Amino acid sequence: MEVDWELSELLEALWTLEEQGGALPQDVRRIAHTEVTDRLLERAVGAGLIAWQPSGHLRLTPKGRSVAMPIIRRHRLAERLMCDILGVDVDETEAAACEFEHFIAEGITRAICTLLGHPRVCPHGRPIPEGACCRQAEEQVNALVVPCDRLALGETARVAYVNTRSHPRLLKLSALGILPGVSIKLLQKWPSIVLQCEEAEIALDEETAREIYVWRSEEQGRDELL
Amino acid sequence: MSPAPKRKKVVLVGNPNVGKSALFRHLTGRYALVSNYPGTTVEISRGRLILEGIEYEVIDTPGVTSLTPQSEDERVACEVLLKEQPDVIVQVADAKNLRRTLRLTLQLVELQRPMVLVLNMVDEMRERGIEIHIEALAELFGIPVVETIATYGYGLRHLLRAIPRATVPKNPLREQHREVLGTSPEETGLPVGLIAEWMEVGDARFQRQVEQLLARLSHVRPALEPSSAPRGCHGCSTPRSLCWALERARARFLEEAVLTLRKEGGAQPRRELTPSAFRMWMGLLFCGVGLLVWEELGGRLLWPTPAMWLGHLLLRYVAEPTWALFHAHRLDLMHRLFFGHPAKPEYGLLVEAVRVLVLLAPLLVPAFVLMRHSARFLHQLGRWTRQPMTGIPILGVMLILVYELVGYTGAQTLVGALEDVLFGTYLIPWLRSRIPSGFLHELLVGPYGLISMGLTYALAIILPVVGTFFLAFGVLEDSGYLPRLAILSDRLLRLMGLNGKAVLPMVLGLGCDTMATMTTRILNSPRERLIATLLLALGVPCSAQLGVILGIAAAYSPAVTLTVLGVVASQLVLVGHLAARVIPGERSDFIFELPPLRVPILRNILLKTGLRLRWFLGEVVPLFLLATSALFLLDQVRFGARTGIEWIEHGLRPLVVGWLSLPAEAARVFVMGFLRRDYGAAGLFDLARQGALTTTQVIVALVTITLFVPCLANLLIIVREQGWKRAFAIVGFILPFAFAIGGILGRLLKALGVFS
């Protein structure tokens, strides 16, 4: 289910409070990164994401939990990324991670998770919800997003992004149908790289092929940015 | 009288290789009327169509992958769209590649002209089990959508009905345009998204058009200025970030559209041969290849081969007994044409036809059946032709076939029949006897006569060679083989600062360098065009020249042929490599679509060949006559004791005799080579036949004349395409270079003592 910015902030706050015990409306109002109005609460209740407890606490419904889980996961992975890889101070990660969580795609999340070695906790010590990639960690030794020339012959993969500084090249590729989200198959590596994309075969030089990054495994999700 | 109603303009646009020209032919009844477009030199075709009482001018454009042009031909297509103000845009699309089609549609929509979308090649689409919801597609853009198979004329009726009913399309990205650019094509009547992209591409020649568009509606401009653009990536809005934002919007739209419009598995796959039939035909195909190799080796090493045997039978039991019969009816000429001169039976057309049939039928018949009836085979062949392990042997077979057709049937048999028999034995002697001696006699049928030299040369020698080459080239082109060759040769061509795309002009150059120089337009950058032009002029021998080279070299030994071709090829690579370093600019990307292999349609190939030959006759033959007249003048005019030709020969002598160590007569060969380099080669042929040259001298002369300046026709085309300065620079480089290499080679060969 798609939720908007405000709702996701609300769910996030609830999740965090529930980890510490219960969530009272005033606590939610205090820590959420959005203005928690009564209307917002009503909307969340109406959507079946949260429910009132008889004790006056707010609680995530199972549906709410499933919606909130990936958001939390993104947020905390983003914190780890900034902390571990970029060397940002722990206290400063929070604000950036809040931005981050809203727009990183599921595929990228997975790539970050793999890159970081499937971390279990965030820099603040809170648990990072497990993703599918963490459960398969043993099999997933290879990087998930690779330049397409690293695929095996005959392997199919989805285009993640075209990492090029050349706009004409990007245009040319997308005109031929090589766009993020599209499935491509590597048909040949030498002397030129040949990809199958839709019903067309496209020959590329290596330099260009190296700029097309793909998700290795097919069933793994598409770029949600699109 | 009331003024004639204005003709409406219909422009055909679409990705390359989707069948625009085929549709154009169906719409207008003409194959392609080639015309020069003002301001550029790239051809577009125009034709007439009358529909429901209204006259339309149909304009065929070069294929474009997008409206942000990347090469000369794409630029022309875009300019047609912008300048001609079409009344109807017909987008022709490859039905099986929906995403790409719609991407172009999204750009065309911005032009806000009435449109029709044609999904062509629906047969190939259905064979792959794909269907498209055309009603939904028509709804999405608000334009008529028709399905066609252009090669068979299927669906044409619907298209003819749709053209007068074309509607201005809806822009599905209107909101996104507003959001990113602050305006939309509907509000401004300008393709604002395209303008942003054109600004980003920054092509100077196309920029003028963009500036004009911008000037027309200045209030859009602020929105596109980097500083005031409403939103970009991370707050910084440059044209690039705007473009990327648009690109993302487009990608998102396409993703969704393709998902909803495409349904899979709806159609039946094509009839397929049964496995046993497939195996049988494959077996026959391999037998055919074996037989061809046997014939080739046998022809050289003088094994008895079926073709030779059949030829003998034909001569013995058909030609000889019928001679008296033909002679009695004064049909000597016809008998000669059919069966050749008793001394040269290989020039007989009937004899040759039998030979070609025996040689090619065992290979081509199974190949044709398999390609026609087995999608599996086509797929397999497509794979084999692009992989080096299988592709190189296949290339070998292709080269043999082309050589058989061009080098043998064209350059030997047809040339023999036309030059020796028709012109040499009948026409010229007859004319000589009719025209009274004097100036006119000399001008028309003298040693440098317009007819005896110029026309004979153009029609009897060059035309058959070039004609058969264009035929072979047409087959390679229509079958989709050439792009696969581009893959195989990309690395080699990259050494020369080009990429695989350049394989087309280079191969075409083996037919006619002049025409090939024109096709360099398909290359992406001016730098590559310059390098390709230089290499074509320098060392790609055209078919007439190649025929002569192979003829002379074969008279000596295969080692001579190999040495000559090896030296020329190495110089091509060397010069290309150096040119790539010297000429500024970067190598352009090799991103190239491989069309599916198809069975070429004979009619289309014949039409294409006819069209190319007409061009050749129109453009090149007058140049032959011009060159002959120049020679004639030089031969006639005397300065002191010598004629003009003798003076030039005299001037060249130190170079030819001193530096190249060739006999003095060879100087004349170079003079003629200046006007037409295969004239020169033909002169060499005579010298070699007279036994005036040693093997080393033959090699030196052949290499020098091959590297020597391009023929007059080619030179004029270079001037037209590249300008005087560059043409001059090219000649200024090639001339000393050819002689330098020739001299060095001669000394090297002498020092090594390889040849006599």
Q: Chain A partners of B596 at a C-beta cutoff of 8 Å? A: 201
Query: Which amino acid is present at B630?
Result: A
What does DSSP say about strands A58-60 and A50-52: parallel, antiparallel, or unpaired? antiparallel
In-domain check, residue B414: no
Encode B514-561 in three state secondary structure.
Answer: HHHHHHHHHCCCHHHHHHHHHHHHHHCCCHHHHHHHHHHHHHHCHHHH
Domain membership flag for residue B641: yes
Question: Going by DSSP bridges, is the β-strand pair B642-643/B638-639 parallel, antiparallel, or unpaired?
Answer: antiparallel
* Helices and strands in chain A, H and E counts: 9, 8
- Can you give the pLDDT at residue B477? 81
Joined together, the tokens standing for residue B584 give 């500024």
A168 has a chain B CB within 8 A of its CB: yes
Q: What is the mean pLDDT of residues B502-508?
A: 85
- Per-residue pLDDT, averaged over B226-254, amounts to 58
What is d(CA A60, CA A14) in angstroms, rounded to the nearest whole number?
7
Q: What sign does the dihedral B235-B237-B241-B246 (CA atoms) show?
A: positive
Interface test with A, best of B68, B96, B100, B262 (most A CBs within 10 A): B100
- The whole-number pLDDT of residue B280 equals 94
Q: Are B114 and B84 in contact (CB under 8 A)?
A: no
The reply to whether residue B255 touches residue A226, judged by beta carbons under 8 angstroms, is yes
Contact A203 B386 (CB under 8 A): yes
Parallel, antiparallel or unpaired: strands A200-204 and A183-188? unpaired
- For residue A206, what is the nearest residue in chain B, using CA coordinates? B590
Residue of B97, B200, B491 with shortest CB distance to A177: B97
Structural domain ending residue among the three candidates B165, B197, B229 = B165
Is A54 buried (19+), middle (13-18) or exposed (0-12) by CB count in 10 A?
Answer: exposed
Distance from CA of B82 to the nearest CA of A (A): 20
* A173 close to B (CB below 8 A): yes
Give CA torsion, residues B624, B629, B630, B633, to 10 deg: 160
Q: Is A225 on the interface with B (CB under 8 A)?
A: yes
pLDDT of residue B482: 86
Taking residues A157-163, what's their average pLDDT? 78
Residues 6+ positions from A6 with CB-CB distance below 8 Å: A34, A35, A40
Closest alpha carbon to B717 in B456, B453, B520: B520
Q: What pLDDT does A215 receive?
A: 77
* β-pairing verdict for B54-60 and B43-51: antiparallel
pLDDT band at B278 (very low <50, low <70, confident <90, very high): very high
A175 touches chain B (CB under 8 A): yes
Domain extent at residue B697: 629-752
User: Does the pLDDT at position A139 exceed 60?
Assistant: no
Residue A124: CB atoms within 10 A of its CB come to: 13
Joined tokens for residue B542: 């055209």
Check residues B259 and B202 and name the one with the higher pLDDT.
B259
The amino acid sitting at B43 is: E
Confidence of residue B325 (pLDDT cuts 50, 70, 90): confident
Q: Let me know if the fold of A69-135 is the same as that of A145-215.
A: no
Residue B187 half-sphere exposure toward CB, CA atoms < 13 A: 13
Residue spans of alpha helices (H) in A32-189? 38-46, 62-80, 90-103, 106-115, 132-135, 167-175
Task: Point out the domain boundary residue: B150, B165, B180.
Answer: B165
What's the distance, Cα to Cα, between the start and end of chain B in Å?
83
For residue B319, the model assigns a pLDDT of: 80
Angle at CA of residue B295, ends B293 and B300, nearest 5°: 100
CB of A16 within 8 Å of any CB in chain B? no
A96 at the B interface (CB within 8 A)? no
Question: What is the average pLDDT across B315-334?
Answer: 81
pLDDT for A5 equals 80
Chain B touched by A220 (CB under 8 Å): no
Distance, in angstroms, between B202 CA and closest chain A CA? 10
CA dihedral B174, B176, B180, B185 (to 10 degrees): -20
In this structure, is residue B637 part of a structural domain? yes
Distance CA B485, CA A191 (A): 11
pLDDT of residue B300: 62
Mean per-residue pLDDT, A53-62? 86
Evaluate whether residue B336 is within a structural domain.
no
Q: Is A99 on the interface with B (CB under 8 A)?
A: no
d(CA A87, CA A84): 6
Which residue, of B119, B147, B165, is where some domain finishes? B165
* Interface A-B: count of C-beta contacts within 8 A: 125
Q: Are B327 and B370 in contact (CB under 8 A)?
A: no
pLDDT at A133 over 90: no
CB contact under 8 A, A201 and B388: no
Of A77-86, B16-25, B219-228, the poorest mean pLDDT is in: B219-228
Q: Find all residues with CB under 8 Å of A205, minimum gap 6, and list them.
A: A192, A193, B490, B494, B499, B589, B590, B591
**pLDDT given at position B160:** 92
Q: What percent of chain B has pLDDT over 70?
A: 87
Across the range B464-483, mean pLDDT stands at 86
pLDDT digits (tens, 9 = 90+) for A182-194: 889 999 988 889 9
Cβ pair A205:B499 closer than 8 A: yes
| Contact call for A226 and B248, based on CB within 8 A | yes
Residue B614 lies in a domain: no
The answer to whether A189 contacts chain B (CB < 8 Å) is no
Instruction: Kindly determine whether residue B197 and residue A169, on different chains, have CB atoms separated by under 8 Å.
Output: no
Q: What 8-state DSSP symbol labels residue B499?
A: -
**Lowest-pLDDT range of A148-152, B70-74, B568-572, B589-593:** B70-74
Instruction: Give the CATH number for residue B51.
Output: 3.40.50.300
ipTM value greater than 0.90: no
Residue B191 Rama label (left phi>0; alpha psi -120 to 50; beta)? beta
B172-204 confidence digits (pLDDT tens): 888 888 877 777 788 777 787 887 777 766 665
pLDDT computed for residue B265 by the predictor: 59
Q: Is B435 exposed, middle or buried (0-12, 13-18, 19+ CB in 10 A)?
A: middle
| Contact partners, residue B724, CB within 8 Å, separation at least 6 | none
Q: Does residue B268 register a pLDDT over 70?
A: no
Which residue among A180, A191, A204 sits closest to B491, beta carbon to beta carbon?
A: A191
Mean per-residue pLDDT of chain B:
81
Q: Quick one: pLDDT at residue B220?
A: 52
CATH 1.10.10.10 applies to domain A69-135? yes
B-facing residues of A in 113-152 (CB < 8 A) are: none
Q: Specify the range with the lowest mean pLDDT, choosing from B40-44, B187-191, B350-354, B589-593.
A: B40-44
pLDDT, one tens digit per residue, over B344-363 is 666 688 888 888 888 888 99
Considering its fold, how many domains does chain B have in total? Answer: 2
Residue of B nearest to A223 (CA): B252
DSSP 3-state percent helix, strand, coil across chain B (nearest 5)? 70, 10, 25
SS3 B44: strand
Q: Which residues pair with B752 in a beta bridge?
A: none
Structural domain boundaries of chain A? 5-60, 69-135, 145-215
Q: Using CA atoms, how far apart are residues B492 and B449, in angstroms rounded to an integer?
A: 44
**A145-215 CATH fold:** SH3 type barrels. (2.30.30)
List, in sequence order, every residue forming a beta bridge with B89; answer none if it has no partner. Answer: B11, B115
CA distance A202 to chain B (A): 4
Query: Which amino acid is located at B178 in the chain?
Result: R
Mean pLDDT (whole number) for A165-192: 81
Q: Each residue of B674-713: pLDDT tens digit? A: 665 556 666 777 777 777 788 888 888 888 888 876 777 7
Mean pLDDT is lowest, of B77-91, B247-261, B402-416, B544-558, for B544-558
Pick from A15-24, A53-62, A106-115: least confident: A106-115
B380 in a domain, yes or no? Answer: no
B275 within some domain:
no
The pTM is what?
0.73
**Chain A residues with beta carbon closer than 8 angstroms to that of B240:** 167
Nearest-CA distance A220 → chain B (Å): 17
User: Which of B46-55, B67-76, B299-308 shows the highest mean pLDDT?
Assistant: B46-55
Q: Which residues of B713-725 are buried (b: 16+ CB within 10 A; e: fewer)?
A: bbbbbbbebbeee
Contact criterion met (CB below 8 Å) for B118 and B91: yes
pLDDT of B547 > 50? The answer is yes
pLDDT band at B307 (very low <50, low <70, confident <90, very high): confident
Inform me whether the C-beta atom of residue A204 falls under 8 Å from chain B C-beta atoms: yes
Contact list in B for residue A179 (CB cut-off 8 A) is 99, 251, 254-255
> Minimal Cα–Cα distance from A41 to chain B, Å?
30
* Domain assignment of residue B172, yes or no: no
Q: How many residues does chain B have?
A: 756
Report whether A150 contacts A157 (CB < 8 A).
no
Nearest beta carbon to residue A176 from set B65, B491, B500: B65
Contact at CB, A181 and B255, closer than 8 angstroms:
yes
Whether A158 has its CB under 8 Å from any CB of chain B: the answer is no
Average pLDDT over residues B513-517: 82
Helices (H) and strands (E) in chain B, counts: 37, 12
| DSSP alpha helix (H) spans, chain A | 5-20, 25-31, 38-46, 62-80, 90-103, 106-115, 132-135, 167-175, 206-209
How confident is the model at residue B64, as a pLDDT?
Answer: 83
Task: Name which of B17, B64, B99 to mutate to probe chain A: the one with the most chain A Cβ atoms within 10 A of its Cβ.
Answer: B99
Closest partner CB to B251 (pick from A202, A205, A226): A226
Return the SS3 of B281: helix
Segment B44-73 mean pLDDT: 83
